[in-house]
Amino acid sequence: MNLALISPANGAYSETFIRAHVERLSGSVYYYYGGHIPSILDGYGAISPHGVIGKARNVLTRAVTNAITAGRFTNKELSLYRSLKGNSIDVVLAEYGTTGASVLNVCKLLNMPLIVHLHGYDISVKNVLEEYASKYRSLFAYAHRIVVVSEPMRKAVKRFGASDCKILYAPCGPREFFANVIPTYSEKAFVSVGRFVDKKAPYYTILSFAKVCEKHSDAMLYMAGAGYLLNTCKNLVKQMRLEHNVVFMGIIDSDEFMERLSKVRAFVQHSIIAEDGDMEGNPVAIMEAQAAGVPVVATKHAGIPEVVINGETGILVDEHDVDGMARALLRLLDDVDLAKKYGRSAKNRMKEHFTIDRHINALNEAIANAAQNMVE
């Protein structure tokens, strides 16, 4: 079975979940990237409307010829059409709803099953929803499966006409090696990993931590990541005279993240619905922290309450509740036994309910079903 995995990423494997899909989905995976209508096939190079990348040449159908003549089929679509047909692709898996909507025309002309995997911004950002409203209705009507990673996302796609029987709830999972972390909770410290963007609201994390420092002047906050709010957060830390308490780590790798998780008291993230509507799916960093056995302090936002159980694997507060987050951080700082208890429960919950294997198996089943239906 030949699967086309299509991502808008500019480079190969730019997201952890895409790497997992390329490496672990069944069959022969052809990875296309470079735009919502992709321009590159990994391992082959640029695809062209004038040539064929694949096992055999293919002839344009009357439907495609008519579409080109009528101006309804672009050169990019023709390139993708030729490549999918030439490589005898059986099923297309589109990462992000915007990608699925963009390749829908090609899949229809090929009568090819399409599975679309939604991740967050594609079904929450206001201007995206406005631009793609009619396209999403067509996409969800045609798609064999619509993969969502949270219950709020399920509700969102249903507002565009997606039927329950097509929706597949399949949250991503943490990378397995995070389960090898043995946390000591030895430092009076917290760690935050994520982009410095509106929906992550890193400034709220800093404001909450500042209140912690009023009681624990030696507490530490390690913040990893990059983004357009990074300099603002650095200025905030400087203005509040917390330079010795907050460390901006930049972009870190998994080894550095695991090393930090092995010592801190909790992982912290103050996610909010951004002004443009952008919101989380199920943040992987939160899952990886819990897989490591570290409790999480976060907000009741998007899919986070499905992963973090308040009062069992961590503490959740309302969005924008700086004081509430400060109190939650202080609880875990003052009570290491509580941190350990939540951490153990978090590790067990990840192992039982949220693993990459469960996610990959759900996708493989959907892909196999789509291919079988095509044959029938």
Tens of pLDDT, residue by residue over 111-148, are 999 999 999 899 999 999 999 999 999 999 999 999 99
The pLDDT tens digits for 223-269 are 999 999 999 999 999 999 999 999 999 999 999 999 999 999 999 99
Give the model's confidence band at 14: pLDDT under 50 very low, under 70 low, under 90 confident, else very high: low
- Token pair belonging to 251: 């972009």
pLDDT on residue 63: 65
| Percent of the chain topping pLDDT 90 | 85
Check pLDDT > 90 for residue 21: yes
Statement to judge: residues 91 and 234 lie in one domain: no
Beta carbons within 8 Å of 64's beta carbon, 6+ residues apart: 73, 78, 81, 109
Could you read off the pLDDT of 38-48 as tens digits, one per residue?
999 999 999 97
pLDDT category, 373, cuts 50, 70, 90? confident
The model scores a pTM over 0.85:
yes
Same domain, 310 and 299: yes
**Are 144 and 277 in a shared domain?**
no
Confidence of residue 54 (pLDDT cuts 50, 70, 90): very low
In order, the DSSP letters of 236-293 are HHHHTT-TTTEEEEES--HHHHHHHHTT-SEEE------TT----S--HHHHHHHHTT
Whether 316 and 304 have beta carbons less than 8 Å apart is answered as yes
Q: Which residue has the higher pLDDT, 28 or 48?
A: 28
Residue 169 sits in the same domain as residue 180: no
How far from chain centre, in Å, is Cα 102? 19
User: Residue 56: its pLDDT value, please?
Assistant: 43
Residue 97 has what pLDDT? 97
pLDDT the model gives residue 52: 46
Whether residue 81 has pLDDT greater than 90: yes
Q: Is the same domain home to 163 and 274?
A: no
What are the Cα distances from residue 41, in Å, to 1, 29, 151, 218?
17, 11, 33, 51
Q: What was the pLDDT predicted at 12?
A: 59
DSSP-H helix ranges across the chain = 16-24, 62-69, 75-86, 97-110, 126-142, 151-158, 202-213, 230-239, 254-261, 284-291, 304-307, 322-334, 336-353, 356-375
CATH number of the domain within which 25 lies? 3.40.50.2000
Q: Are residues 349 and 369 in the same domain?
A: no
Let me know: does 152 contact 303? Beta carbons within 8 Å: yes
User: For residue 64, how many other CB atoms are within 10 A of its CB?
Assistant: 20
Question: Into how many domains does the chain fold?
Answer: 2
| Mean of pLDDT values over 23-43 | 94
Residues 262-319 pLDDT 10s:
999 999 999 999 999 999 988 899 999 999 999 999 999 999 999 999 999 999 999 9
**Residue 125 CB-half CA count within 13 A:** 14
| 3-class SS of residue 213 | helix
137 and 209 housed in the same domain: no
Residues 216 and 186 in one domain: yes
Summarised one tens digit per residue, pLDDT across range 206-217 is 999 999 999 999
Question: Would you state the pLDDT for residue 19?
Answer: 87
Helix axes 284-291, 254-261, angle to 10 degrees: 50
- Based on the domain organization, do 30 and 113 belong to the same domain? yes
Is 198 in the same domain as 278? yes
For 156, the 3-state DSSP assignment is helix
For residue 59, the model assigns a pLDDT of 58
219 shares its domain with 293: yes
Lowest-pLDDT range, 6-10, 13-17, 53-57? 53-57
pLDDT at position 169 is: 96
pLDDT averaged over every residue in the chain: 93
> Which strands make up the sheet holding 246-250, listed edge to edge?
246-250, 220-224, 189-193, 266-268, 296-299, 314-317
Which structural domain, as residue segments, surrounds residue 270? 176-353
Same domain flag for 158 and 256:
no
Q: Which of the residue ranges 69-83, 208-222, 249-263, 337-351 would you say has the lowest mean pLDDT? A: 69-83
